[in-house]
């Protein structure tokens, strides 16, 4: 492991079947920019996949909402919309893949003890400098050269209560907004219960609907 990465593309480690440059391209397409956390996340996801037996139906858990969920969505069948990806807001750069029935799998995390102290990765991870002062070119090169060398892996078992399949339950029509909602939320939907994210939701509804 060196702290002075060269420009040679072949010095960059593969992310699964993708070259580092290929992954940068698909990361840019999906995430809109090749964020360092997403590039590192690519190596993390592929590292985790190595430890999951072929043919296992697995789900994923990201311990941060930053970047990592997108690496999971790009490189596994697990997405936030199909319910196979769960996000916990710990702000930890760690993820796990686990058998959806047994909960057994692996956790991969960025290991502070494996990241060279003087590296730009350490500066980025610990935010030792404002983003504008970080050397993004050097950071990217280090990510491609170190690959999974800066991670650790251990086996995990998910807690039983997290293995239950999500269910919508009975669907009703909210008597306030008139939309379909899970009746287990109460007599009216959560948005009408006061959780609406919009300003003056109810008065706007009538006045500003677009004619069709």
Nearest CA to 93 out of 17, 174, 158, 38 is that of 38
Tell me the closest approach of the beta carbon of residue 53 to its own copies, in angstroms: 14
CB atoms within 10 A of CB 172: 17
Q: Are 183 and 169 within 8 A, CB to CB?
A: yes
Tell me the closest approach of the beta carbon of residue 16 to its own copies, in angstroms: 16
Tell me the closest approach of the beta carbon of residue 83 to its own copies, in angstroms: 7
Q: Which of residues 6 and 149 has its CB atom nearest to its own copies in the complex?
A: 149
Q: Which of residues 9 and 198 has its CB atom nearest to its own copies in the complex?
A: 198
Q: Which of residues 9 and 162 has its CB atom nearest to its own copies in the complex?
A: 162
Name the region of 5 (left: φ>0; alpha: ψ -120 to 50; beta: rest): beta
Buried b (16+ CB within 10 A) or exposed e, 82-113: eebbbbeeeeebbbbbbbbeebebbbbbbeee
Query: Cα 73 from chain centroid?
Result: 7
Q: Which of residues 19 and 182 has its CB atom nearest to its own copies in the complex?
A: 182
Tell me the closest approach of the beta carbon of residue 2 to its own copies, in angstroms: 17
């Amino acid at each position: 492991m060196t702290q002075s990465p060269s420009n040679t593309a072949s010095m960059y480690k593969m992310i699964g079947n993708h070259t580092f440059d290929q992954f940068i391209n698909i990361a840019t397409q999906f995430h809109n920019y090749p964020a360092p956390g997403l590039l590192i996340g690519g190596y993390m996801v592929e590292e985790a996949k190595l430890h999951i037996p072929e043919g296992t139906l697995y789900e994923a858990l990201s311990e941060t909402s930053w970047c990592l969920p997108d690496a999971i969505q790009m490189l596994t069948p697990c997405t936030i919309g199909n319910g196979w990806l769960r996000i916990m807001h710990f702000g930890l750069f760690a993820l796990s893949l686990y058998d959806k029935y047994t909960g057994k799998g692996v956790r991969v995390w960025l290991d502070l003890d494996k990241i060279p102290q003087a590296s730009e990765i350490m500066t980025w991870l610990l935010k030792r400098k404002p983003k504008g002062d970080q050397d993004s070119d050097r950071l990217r090169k280090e990510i491609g050269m170190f690959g999974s060398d800066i991670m650790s892996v251990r086996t995990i078992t998910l807690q039983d209560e997290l293995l239950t399949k999500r269910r919508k339950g009975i669907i009703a029509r909210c008597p306030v907004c008139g939309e379909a909602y899970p009746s287990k939320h109460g007599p009216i939907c959560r948005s009408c219960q006061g959780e609406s994210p919009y300003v003056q939701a109810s008065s706007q509804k009538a006045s500003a609907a677009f004619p069709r």
